[in-house]
Structure 1
Amino acid sequence: MTNSSKTPSPSGAPRRSGGWLLRLALGLFGIGLLAIVGIFLTSVFGGHDPGVWLYLVAMLTPIGFLLAIGYALWSGRRVR
């Protein structure tokens, strides 16, 4: 017997996989962190203010964080 990631629920239907949500959350969080690093590097080495678009991309960090929390809550539910 193999251990698969999609274990059947008591009703016989396989459980839904939320792996796509975790990948999306990590991707958004990582892009947001890169934007934050870009803001600091632009300020230090460029000598001028970073563009507004960089601040907007940095807002992906908390969005990714909230999606990761949502994934953790969704995947941690017990099947009744």
Structure 2
Amino acid sequence: MRGLTVDKAETPGFLGPVVLALANDTQIGARSDDTIVTAEAGAQYGITDEDGNVPESHRGAFGGGPVFGSGGALGG
């Protein structure tokens, strides 16, 4: 897939801490109409990958897509 490099992608172990941070976020309701990309959420919560890297978002590799809740095609 053009635009997505494996060396900048997150490892399988990155997802768990991001999901845990989302689950513990008392303001999670504010994201109810968002498309959440784990790399972006990880950066927002200050989470690094198992190897210490900060994964890059793959949103652009999939055409950008709307960021729901920010005036995108289906959002607010």
Which band: TM-score by shorter chain? under 0.3
Larger Rg: 1
Larger helix share, 1 or 2: 1
| TM-score, length basis structure 1 | 0.25
